Amino acid sequence: LRVHAVPMDPPLGDGGRLLLVLSDRTRDRAVERMRADFVANASHELRTPLASLIGFIETLRGPAEDDREASARFLGIMAEQADRMRRLIDDLLGLSRIEITEHQPPTGRVDLGALAATEVEAMAPILAKRGARVALDAPVGLFAGPADAGQLAQVLRNLLENACRYGREGGTIRLSVERAVARTEANANPRWPARPGIVLSVADDGPGIPRQHLPRLTERFYRVDRGRGRDAGGTGLGLAIVKHIVNRHRGQLQIESEEGVGSTFRVWLPAE
């Protein structure tokens, strides 16, 4: 609690008067703490691959100097660690750029069906690695707007990558784009806004996410399984980026998951 005293001017009566302002700083403190945590987490995430790079450089300069086979193996690991740092820096910069523009609504229109098809094609190498396939149900000509094509492509990419990474090996990812059902209809989702919208959904048939984690998934660096997320190549920022892009579009993100069945990420966006 912050207490602030202001002398009243002109003073009323003989003794003068003070105006006391009491302000609750709980929220400010929470924001400050979140900021400090974020910097600490980001530094830690960068420092881990950096420490490994430094270690390998020392080994290559010393004990492994003349061992060609070991050198080649170490260089491979070093390339992976450097790539991990690059991805993390890209995501950190991306996130801060999105945050800066979050209060300026986008201005374009985006054919979500066409965008979905393009992004699925671009995912082919990652899908092949996991032996996964995408079942696409996204008619072209469903436009979101006002919208930013680059940012919505990133939403699709992050959700598809996660479905691939955490879904079942050899599994099926269902990607669909459809008109949001009007609120008046029986099967309408009561949580969606009442305006006309388009719903984009990415569903996997993976192990699912225990219920208690769901509310925290979009926090920066929050992972259900720390080691696993990192080993799988995630930066821990994917869903935070998705959430901020969806907010900028005045949309909504909904996450549903059932253990042993799979997870579904739905994004409601305003229809043009």
Distance of closest approach, residue 222 Cβ to ligand ADP, in angstroms: 6
Evaluate whether 98 touches 241 at the Cβ level (below 8 Å). Answer: yes
**Quick one: tokens of 203?**
């569903």
Distance of closest approach, residue 91 Cβ to ligand ADP, in angstroms: 8
229 touching ligand ADP, by CB under 6 A: yes
Distance of closest approach, residue 271 Cβ to ligand ADP, in angstroms: 26
Distance of closest approach, residue 48 Cβ to ligand ADP, in angstroms: 14
Q: Residues 146, 248, 215, CA angle at the centre, nearest 5°? A: 130
Smaller CB distance to ligand ADP: residue 65 or 259? 259
Q: Residues 40, 45, 49, CA angle at the centre, nearest 5°? A: 140
> How remote is the C-alpha of 228 from its chain's centroid?
17
209 touching ligand ADP, by CB under 6 A: yes
Distance of closest approach, residue 255 Cβ to ligand ADP, in angstroms: 8
Evaluate whether 244 touches 99 at the Cβ level (below 8 Å). Answer: yes
**Quick one: tokens of 57?**
């450089």
Smaller CB distance to ligand ADP: residue 168 or 250? 168
**Quick one: tokens of 254?**
């909904």
Question: H helices of the chain, where?
Answer: 26-61, 68-101, 112-122, 124-130, 149-166, 226-231, 238-248
Smaller CB distance to ligand ADP: residue 174 or 223? 223
49 touching ligand ADP, by CB under 6 A: no
**Quick one: tokens of 178?**
């459809």
Smaller CB distance to ligand ADP: residue 145 or 208? 208
Evaluate whether 135 touches 94 at the Cβ level (below 8 Å). Answer: no
Tokens 């300069």: give the residue.
61
**Region near ligand ADP per CB under 6 A, out of 10-18, 35-43, 160-168, 187-195:** 160-168
Name residue 239's beta-bridge partners.
none
Among 239, 245, 246, 253, the residue binding ligand ADP under the rule CB under 6 A is 239
| Size of interface with ligand ADP, in residues (CB under 6 A) | 22
**Region near ligand ADP per CB under 6 A, out of 58-66, 96-104, 140-148, 222-230:** 222-230
Measured between alpha carbons, how far is 83 from 157 in angstroms, rounded to an integer? 18
Find the binding residues for ligand ADP in span 101-140 (CB under 6 A): none
Smaller CB distance to ligand ADP: residue 88 or 112? 88
Binding positions for ligand ADP, rule: CB under 6 A? 158, 162-163, 166-167, 204, 206, 209, 217, 222-225, 229, 234-240, 263
